[in-house]
Structure 1
Amino acid sequence: MSMLSVLIPIALLFVIILCKKIPKIGGNIHAALVISGLAALLLGGVYNPITWLVSWVDGVDRIAWVMMLSIFGTIYAETQISMGTMDTVLTLSRATFGKSPKGLLVAIMISLALAGSLLGDAIAVSTVVGVLIVKPLYDMGLKPEEISATVVMGALLGSVCPPISGAIFQACGLVGASTDEASMYAYVTVGLAIAFSCVYASFAFVKIKSLPPELIPEKKAGQIFREGWITLLPMGVLILIVILRSGPWAIDIIADLYAPFINLIADIPIVQGFTNIILLAVFSVTVLSFLSAKVRKRGVVDIVKTGIHNVLPCTGVQLAAGFMLGAFYASGVIETIEQFAMTLNIHVLKLGGAAAMALVGMLTGSQTTAQSAIFTFLGPALISSGLDPAKVASAGAQIATAGQAMPPADLCTFVVAGLVGGILGVKVDSVKSMIRSFPGFFVLFLGGIALLYI
């Protein structure tokens, strides 16, 4: 396959995504992915529609577990919202760390990051926890844009941190890397970005020396825990499962529990996505959550319906990405790129690819789009150059997320800025908010780059 046959589908992908003035399809990520895939198939000499369908099934099969995890993850998030888990986490953090203005802001960011890492959805965390913290931060003297930046840094950085990270799961699915290994690297680099963001925000945004009396927690952490421990139970079980299977003891409770089910469906295309251990762990704690009276009162139907409604846009992109991914493999695009990558200077490939992915994230405001558009071929190219797949996947997830959060089009910031403006009754400048949060996400970007060099 010639390089021209590779470049044309990629060029079409970029043009359709970035040129929003194209009639009907301009700026439409679904159309861009499908048209790019079709172009790759035709230029690769694959003309049989049956083969197209088979390649689509193959592409979706490669990321099936990511799609299923997205669906079950949003349903799990809805159960935690109903239980009041995030309220308990925030109150505990405030009682533990929030005795001073800087301490309160750090407590809020830690709560947001923890919620993001356990729900995997920055927008859900921003809206649920954000409602609780906007007024306290405003009373501390933070400007609306600083409040928005604080919420976005905490929630979005948390959402890319394991154990539940849609960005890392997607990256691993695209390159076939181990989620456990990729997550271990992310704990370090994303953890550093969160720590930096806490320090940065507390010194850059907080100007007062002491807290107003109404913001000082009345209850001690122990009392809060005793009153709300039941809301933390599913989250605690999920953390325990992750620790046991990733620690030196290597006890995989979920794999043992679901072994017969895993063996039954392991060879069935797409359905085998249900064999992913993290997905099964999330499913298990979701079932556990339905033992809560608050969750049962809301009802299974409403929770599942809301969760699926929230994840449908993401699932649509994943289906289109599956078509393009399968088409790229069937037509030989991936193989050609891998061979070409071996002739490039490795530093050009690393830095140029990272810059391209961050740029797409910046212009589209979506790490999902950045990964689908760039990492689909960049990831395999980096791996063919001798890099560790787990490091490549973790780096790709972080670079794409960092790009998303940078000005001028971050979707999460648009949502949060609107939320802050609505609560305070003021206009919030979204781009200024992105500029305020830029340092935290630049550190995340650097962490991703570092993984490509160590």
Structure 2
Amino acid sequence: MLKVAVPMAVLLILVLCKKIPLIGGKINAALVITGALTLLLAGIYSPETWIAAWFDGLNRLAWIIALSISGSLFAEISMRLGTIDTIIGAMTAKFGRHPRILIVCILLALTIAGSLLGDAIAASTVIGMLTIGILVSMNLSYEKISAIIVMGACVGSIMPPMTQAIALASSLVGTEPDPVINIGYVTVSIIFVVVAIYCAFFLIHKDNVPGANDTVVLKFTDQTAGQILRHNWKSLIPLMFLIAVVLLRTVPIPYLSFDLGPTLLKNLSYTSADGVTTSLYDLLAGTTVLNGLTNGIVLSILCAIGVSFFFPAVHKNAGNIVRESFSKVKMTVVLQICCAFMLGSFYVAGSVDAVSEFAQSLDSNVLKIGGAVAMILIGMLTGSQSTSQNVVFSFFGPALVAFGVDATHAAVAGAHLASAGQGLPPADLTTFVVVGIVASQFGKKVDPLKSMFYSMPMCICMAIIGMVFLYL
């Protein structure tokens, strides 16, 4: 475990100790150095292997990079159409005098988005971008803003009924998902209440009203929420279309359920010189890094972007919109590229396997604690509860059942423990992505580690619920 513990300690030191010459407090440098140290400790010195590790990491994060770019483009389009002004204006008009109620509404929107999209990073990127403006106008610190977005999206990513975390955990222990989902309604509701109370009373103060930060100009301040929506409903069409596409790909509606994005790409094909016909979807899916464009959520956003081009404000200013969105997401993509090197190094050096083996070496009650720690750690390193479950819970879950833990309870525990790593310091990928988005939107420096510490109550709550179900 030293090849995991030492690089993590170095990462923590580099991020915290800003007085270190040249690299102190610079997260991009810290990520690259952590990856390099991981490879060196594993005895890997070959430049070819280092490059291969970087490409492996890029391949694993390809869909996240594609999501950031497409999400930034959709957010810029939403700003040009007035979608964000309409949403912020309506919410401010309705709850502007009650900032604590307003923050609960924002959390609820992020939670619903996380449930629909099925992924915390996706919800943070797409819906989180729409909420940054109103949160900044409330004069909140950028670290708090990032934490609020991460917490809302992470709670949503485990929220039933569309919850990959619970479905995957149930399949790995061989139990029916319905009983687990029914318990999930209760446990996730508890987590949401805890997060809402924490944000409303510890992160938000009475003077954090919309407009408190006068550097952000809010529109429609003299209209009611109903008036704003009646006069500007057309600006919501691309967003509503995106929601509809996501619902059609996630909710089983007879004769209507289909995945629009992949379906369109699969119907576009080309024939090579030797007569082989390949669909555009298969071509992209089989290409390193570009396979990120075949992610269902990314394609759903691209479809919504296509619809938005029917608006003159978009197609007449397409060049400016693309340039502006790329300039805003540049910092985020650079951070993700650096993070890709660290992540690829973890896999090539066997750090992920080391964590898995650590859990496998344990038995009886120690297995529960060790396995839980391993799941949380993997969830933190990869920013993905599904990776945590596939890597650790695939053997940890059946082992729990073999030791006498009820399969339903084991599945509940597995889903919550895997999700507990998202938002946890010092190397949470979800927070790195959100911090990059917030920083790029306003050109400000945002401390990712501080943001992670703000998110810890949510992580602790998820971990506690997971541990409780291990011992029921």
- TM-score tier (shorter): 0.5 to 0.7
**Partners of 2:338 and 2:381 in 1: CA distance:** 13
TM-score, normalisation: structure 1: 0.65
Aligned twin of 2:117: none
SS of structure 2 residue aligned to 1:329: helix
Specify whether residues 37 and 245 from structure 1 end up closer, same or farther in structure 2 by C-alpha distance, changes over 3 A only: same
Contact 1:76 1:286 in 2 (8 A): yes
Q: Which amino acid aligns with 1:89?
A: I
Are 1:229 and 2:254 an aligned pair?
no
Aligned twin of 1:426: none
SS of structure 2 residue aligned to 1:258: helix
Are 1:290 and 2:309 an aligned pair?
yes
1:254-293 → structure 2 map (5 Å cutoff):
254-259=261-266, 260-293=279-312
**Partners of 2:42 and 2:143 in 1: CA distance:** 46
**Bigger Cα displacement from structure 2, 194-203 vs 40-49:** 194-203
Are 1:32 and 2:26 an aligned pair?
no
Specify whether residues 35 and 267 from structure 1 end up closer, same or farther in structure 2 by C-alpha distance, changes over 3 A only: same
Specify whether residues 148 and 244 from structure 1 end up closer, same or farther in structure 2 by C-alpha distance, changes over 3 A only: same
Aligned twin of 2:400: none
Are 1:120 and 2:125 an aligned pair?
yes
Contact 1:65 1:274 in 2 (8 A): yes
TM-score, normalisation: structure 2: 0.63
> 1:79, CA displacement in angstroms?
1.0
Aligned twin of 1:211: none
1:114-193 → structure 2 map (5 Å cutoff):
114=109, 117=113, 120=125, 124-125=129-130, 127-130=132-135, 134=138, 155=149, 157-160=151-154
Specify whether residues 242 and 23 from structure 1 end up closer, same or farther in structure 2 by C-alpha distance, changes over 3 A only: same
Q: Which amino acid aligns with 1:245?
A: R
Which of the numbers 355, 379, 396 marks the counterpart of 1:337?
355
Q: Which amino acid aligns with 2:461?
A: L
**Partners of 2:110 and 2:326 in 1: CA distance:** 20
Aligned twin of 2:43: 45
Q: CA RMSD in A?
A: 5.0
**Partners of 1:272 and 1:31 in 2: CA distance:** 27
**Partners of 2:259 and 2:228 in 1: CA distance:** 32
Q: Which amino acid aligns with 1:317?
A: L
**Partners of 1:374 and 1:242 in 2: CA distance:** 20
> 1:230, CA displacement in angstroms?
1.0
Q: Which amino acid aligns with 1:120?
A: T
Cα distance per residue 1:257-280 (max 9 Å; x no partner): 222322222121111111100001
Are 1:251 and 2:258 an aligned pair?
yes
Aligned twin of 1:54: 52
Specify whether residues 14 and 375 from structure 1 end up closer, same or farther in structure 2 by C-alpha distance, changes over 3 A only: farther
Are 1:82 and 2:86 an aligned pair?
no
> 1:186, CA displacement in angstroms?
9.9
Identity of aligned residues (%): 28
**Partners of 1:271 and 1:411 in 2: CA distance:** 24
Which consecutive unaligned segments of at least 5 residues does structure 2 have? 114-122, 158-164, 166-170, 208-219, 267-278, 398-410
**Partners of 2:304 and 2:383 in 1: CA distance:** 33
> 1:65, CA displacement in angstroms?
0.7
Aligned twin of 2:465: 450
Cα distance per residue 1:37-74 (max 9 Å; x no partner): 23333333333211221222112111111111111111
1:298-337 → structure 2 map (5 Å cutoff):
299-337=317-355
Cα distance per residue 1:295-349 (max 9 Å; x no partner): 345x223322222222222222222222222222223232222111222434544
Contact 1:78 1:303 in 2 (8 A): yes
Q: Which amino acid aligns with 1:383?
A: F
Q: Which amino acid aligns with 1:20?
A: K
Specify whether residues 130 and 187 from structure 1 end up closer, same or farther in structure 2 by C-alpha distance, changes over 3 A only: farther
Which of the numbers 383, 394, 399 marks the counterpart of 2:393?
383
Q: Which amino acid aligns with 2:259?
A: D
> 1:281, CA displacement in angstroms?
0.6
Aligned twin of 1:72: 70
Aligned length: 381
Q: Which amino acid aligns with 1:263?
A: D
Specify whether residues 453 and 329 from structure 1 end up closer, same or farther in structure 2 by C-alpha distance, changes over 3 A only: farther
**Partners of 2:238 and 2:194 in 1: CA distance:** 29
Contact 1:119 1:159 in 2 (8 A): yes
